[in-house]
Amino acid sequence: MSPSEFFFDQVTEEIRIQVEGVRALADRLGRQHLSADASACVEGIGEAASTVSRLLATAHDLKAAAAEQLPLNPAPHPLRELMDEVQERWISRARESGVTLLVAYEGDPAAAALVDAHRLHQIFDGFIGQAVSGVRRGAVEASLEVIPSPSETLRLVGRIRGAGDVTDGSLSGSIEEITARFGLETALSAALGQRILQAFEGQGRTELNAGGGETVVFTLTVPCAPDVVAAPAEAAADRAAHVLIVDDNATNRMVAETLCEMFDCTAETAADGVEAVELARSGRFDLILMDIKMPRMDGVAATRAIRALSGPAGQTPIIALTANADPEDAAGYIAAGMIGVVEKPMKPENLLRALQQALNPGDAKAA
């Protein structure tokens, strides 16, 4: 990696962390008793921060895909559930654009595949985003057909079609052309979706609709994943936890508190390792989320000090909360006495896994 690329990655990562903080703060403000004007302003701040967050994440993935370094993490996933997730991701945004979103699934309701569900979502995101932008009034139809084969694989056929008053029905073109027609976010998402489709060794084409516009059709072949039992998307830990959040950044502490509240957990905070050790002596915490880089005492030193405490206090599960989560760094945190790593900016699903690991160590893995 060149110095300029390293600098770019560091700057964008810092922007991403700060934007996630803005989103969390806007969410917290939105739950207060505000006037109508204030609520509208807070909602606007949250929406703007969400847009920036999506742009950064998509740009980061597109950069990795262009270098053929985009990670793919296949896991068993029910395909009907995948389409429910696609609908959940797009129903509100389509409605805000005055478009009706119709999502369909055709195939065995219990069919499951060994796929990276997040990357499949991104393929749909790219094409649905263009279709929603190109329809002024009407509907966008997104469907997935699952066709079994005798070789223990599944053929997936996705279709995205705009119907109604289509202002710009073309779903093809360069990133510059799509940007000019639909905006940068849509163009980046479309380019990423096409890159991911190529990574899956899939194929795509467009078909002209009889009433105008186009239908995008993409196909790919994936391994079967039989005997998968779908877990609820919003699974909760068996019991609420009392969490100690340790971070020298006030925004990061508030973000973590907000996410803990999402799972009905209580939380206390500390601004550095020295405070964390003193609070941990009480033994009243189910989990400690520990930042790594802090003044006075860093997270690794604080973890070692807590592990030296006698009784239950010294056994409190500690999870690193850090942007430096590569395997080499993670191994150092584990060696110091932590049980896992939650990467910054902290996401709800990663916090949930941390809670599950802390409360049910036999049933969950570190994030």
For residue 176, the model assigns a pLDDT of: 60
Range ranked top by mean pLDDT from 190-194, 219-223, 349-353: 219-223
Q: What is the pLDDT of residues 195-210, one digit of tens each?
A: 898 888 889 888 887 7
In angstroms, what CA-CA distances link 166 with 84, 109, 135, 181, 336? 25, 32, 4, 13, 59
Average pLDDT value for residue range 84-88:
91
- What is the DSSP-derived secondary structure letter of residue 292? S
CA dihedral 150, 154, 155, 156 (to 10 degrees): 160
The token pair at 254 is 């508030």
Sequence-distant (≥ 6) Cβ neighbours of residue 161 within 8 angstroms: 131, 140, 141, 209, 213, 214, 215, 216
Average pLDDT value for residue range 22-33:
85
Per-residue confidence band for 21, with pLDDT thresholds at 50, 70 and 90:
confident
Per-residue confidence band for 93, with pLDDT thresholds at 50, 70 and 90:
confident
Q: What is the pLDDT of residues 309-342, one digit of tens each?
A: 988 899 999 999 888 777 788 888 999 999 888 8
For residue 362, the model assigns a pLDDT of: 52
**Residue 177 predicted with pLDDT over 60:** no
* 290 neighbors 303 (Cβ within 8 angstroms): yes
Sign of CA dihedral 228, 233, 238, 242: positive
Burial zone of 6 (CB within 10 Å; 0-12 exposed, 13-18 middle, 19+ buried): exposed
Sequence-distant (≥ 6) Cβ neighbours of residue 250 within 8 angstroms: none
291: nearest Cα among 281, 302, 282, 283? 302
Q: What is the pLDDT of residues 133-151, one digit of tens each?
A: 877 667 889 999 999 987 7
For residue 227, the model assigns a pLDDT of: 54
For residue 63, the model assigns a pLDDT of: 83
**Residue 32 predicted with pLDDT over 60:** yes
Sequence-distant (≥ 6) Cβ neighbours of residue 88 within 8 angstroms: none
* Arithmetic mean of pLDDT over the chain: 81
For residue 229, the model assigns a pLDDT of: 40
More confident residue, 219 or 46: 219
Q: What is the pLDDT of residues 38-55, one digit of tens each?
A: 888 988 898 888 888 888
Look at strands 153-166 and 214-223 and give their pairing: antiparallel
* 49 neighbors 26 (Cβ within 8 angstroms): yes
**Residue 253 predicted with pLDDT over 70:** yes
More confident residue, 186 or 294: 294
For residue 277, the model assigns a pLDDT of: 94
